[in-house]
Chain A
Amino acid sequence: MQGVLGVFKEIDATVDAIGDLKQGSYRDISVFAPTLDHEIEHAVGAPESPVRRFTLIGGLCGVTFGYWIAIWTSDYWPLVVGGKAIASWIPYTILGFEVMVLIGALSTVAGMFINSRLPNLTMTVGYDDRFSAGSYGVYVECAPEQAKSVEDTLRRNGAVEVRNAR
């Protein structure tokens, strides 16, 4: 994995560089920003996050398990009270709801970690400490023969530093 990294001070310069690189048919672009920024998000144009599917599936599994554990244990060890249902759905809805939230939320976090590739044990490629402060980074994965063209694009758009990263 090798590529070119450009460090930017301004967000509009970063966005312009991303636009130019995309026009140049470079698709493997990673952008580093100190905070979530919708301008960069729109410039990168990534598809909708699939985290929502993890949320939905986790929530459905949770609510099913919550109702099931309450109903199954009531049936397995019945506490018979005259006139009362052995498995009563109204109080069990509380269990169903709580377990839905628990499993759904934990699945959401799992979805975020899986899709973001966290935990990330290697910090070397393309990352710079300045990206958590005030600078922006654009890392383009490319073949060595394309590096010159990428460097030119980054510099033309105002990169304060351009270097090869691997």
Chain B
Amino acid sequence: MATTVAPPTAAPTYPNVATADVRLPSVTSYEQVDEEILATLHPTVTWFLGLGAAVTALLIGIACLMYQIYSGLGVAGYNPPIMWGVYIITFVFWVGIGHAGTLISAILYLFRAGFRTSIYRCAEAMTVFAVMTAGLFPLLHLGRIWKFFWLIPYPNWRLIWPQFKSPLVWDVFAVLTYLTISATFFYVGLLPDIAVLRDRETNPIRKQIFASLSLGWRNSDREWRHFARAYLFLAAFATPLVLSVHSVVSFDFAMANVPGWHATIFPPYFVAGAIFSGMGMVFTIIIPLRRWFGLKHYVTLNDLDAGAKLCLFTSMVVGCAYLSEFFIAWYGGSPVETQYFWNRVFGEWWWAAWIMLICNCVLPLSLFSQQLRRNTTWLFILSLFINLGMWFERFVIIVPGLSHEFEPWQWSHYTPTFVDLGILLGSFGWFFMWFLLFVKQLPIVAIAEVKEIIPPRRRGVHDGNHGIRRPVKPGRVPVTVPGDD
């Protein structure tokens, strides 16, 4: 939140190469920020096509759900004892995706990580929509969706309360708390930006809607003072919450006596995996957006580079967790565990395990190369592999464990049906439908926070660069950064 002010010097600038003093060199005035970011809100044909595709995917998912409700859970491919399948895999996948948003907005805020500013709004929106998506899957998995409220502790005529020692009840609390806090954090951060929209909007109906949503925010010193304090405390609350939620999700597995699940490494392993997958999804979303919306000078290569380093670090933590699991299975001397892990990598599910290992541990090693970290095409392709690998990580945890329990008579097979896959597709449709609606209604880059890192206008400096300028060496031309296509 610090406002850095440097003495003015008389020299022109060259674009988009950041330094410690000048984070967004091509952004020179507050008015420019408003103009360029608000310009992203105009709908385009591509946007309508994307929204149409997302709604179609969602409708396919809804049709499959209707069929499942009509026919019963048997159509979902469950094969006892494998009673957790695509729905729980996808639940964990989306909760994991939802972790990067609050990580970026809360933890990186507390650490004052500069690269957060330009990407956190997208990441927060992604979090809210991902957790909204994740929350659907335990309900779908119930079969009788309309009984979901049995998990909520409320005084009822049967005098029955939830079992608070059950990880499934912890999960309800953790995920609902996370959804509430993420949505609150998202909305509070949006207030000043909604006020900008309100003040620039010409359509009276939309202006009225933004006026209501902004709650009458006036940018006064009183509002900024309490806003800054509240934002700090929200970040301080959200930080342990991020770490706790996926730990609680991991307890769903670690508290069960199933081979491969009953391990104390699960909470940190799940948290690292969640951050890793969340960063993957951030790249999947932000790289096309910065290109389509012409925001390369806001979401700079430096920001992507820093995000890629975080991705690399969490990939290595996840890789270390995989190796630890294998090592403990061997070192622990339990034949069941040993056989389970052997089966995971060389048995029936070898293909899933190798997809996981290659996508999550091998390909991300490419990020040791700075050239590849700053190559947006490669980052985007890699992010797709990370999404795929992290979905398969949850598959590899859940399905081989349940299909290869302690006794041979418990061993079974699992094949997802079209209903599973249709609902999985529908979840992506649901997520992207909300996200696409968001990108055309609200700013995807935090206007107020970007203004905070631009040096403010000062007396005697009228070049529109707010006083901070960087000298151009003789003969130097504007830099084209390799990989920033």
Contacts and interface: CB of A to CB of B under 8 A. Distances in A.
Interface of A: 9-13, 30-41, 44, 46, 49, 51-52, 55, 59, 69-70, 73-74, 76-77, 79, 88, 91-92, 94-95, 97-99, 101-102, 104-106, 108-109, 111-113, 115-123, 126-127, 129, 131-134, 158
Given A39-B3, A76-B161, A12 B215 contact: no
B226 A36 contact: no
Contacts of A134: 29-31, 34, 457
A109 B448 contact: no
Interface string B32-63: 00100000000000000000000000000000
Across chains A and B, which 4 residue pairs bring their CB atoms closest together, nearest first?
A: A120-B216, A112-B230, A134-B30, A73-B161
B215 A46 contact: no
Given A32-B219, A34-B219, A35-B448, A92 B237 contact: no
A19 B227 CA distance: 23
B3 A112 contact: no
Contacts of B368: none
Interface in B174-229: 174, 177, 180-181, 184-185, 188, 192, 195-196, 198-200, 211, 215-229
Contact of A109 (B160, B184, B241, B458): B184
Interface string B94-118: 0000000000000000000000000
A46 B164 contact: no
Nearest to B255: A91
B18 interface: no
Given A31-B220, A91-B164, A120-B216, A11 B233 contact: no
Contacts of A106: 180, 184
Given A36-B228, A38-B2, A102-B180, A108 B234 contact: yes
A117 B216 CA distance: 9
B452 interface: yes
Contacts of A97: 240, 244
Nearest to A43: B221
A150 to B, nearest CB: 17
Give the contact-size bracket for chain B.
Answer: 35 or more
A105 B180 CA distance: 9
Nearest to A40: B221
Nearest to B448: A35
A120 B458 CA distance: 31
8 contacts: A11-B457, A31-B221, A36-B448, A55-B237, A73-B161, A94-B248, A98-B170, A120-B216
For A9, A73, A121, the residue with the greatest tally of chain B CB atoms inside 10 Å of its CB is A73
Given A105-B238, A109-B234, A38 B3 contact: yes
Contacts of B225: 41, 46, 49
A77 B163 CA distance: 10
Contacts of A70: 164
B177 A133 contact: no
A39 B456 CA distance: 10
For A55, A94, A101, A126, the residue with the greatest tally of chain B CB atoms inside 10 Å of its CB is A101
Contacts of A105: 180-181, 184-185, 233-234, 237-238
A94 B255 CA distance: 14
A119 B181 CA distance: 20
Given A111-B226, A112-B230, A134-B29, A33 B221 contact: yes
A121 B211 CA distance: 9
Contacts of A122: 216
Contacts of B181: 101-102, 105
A11 B5 CA distance: 11
A101 B452 contact: no
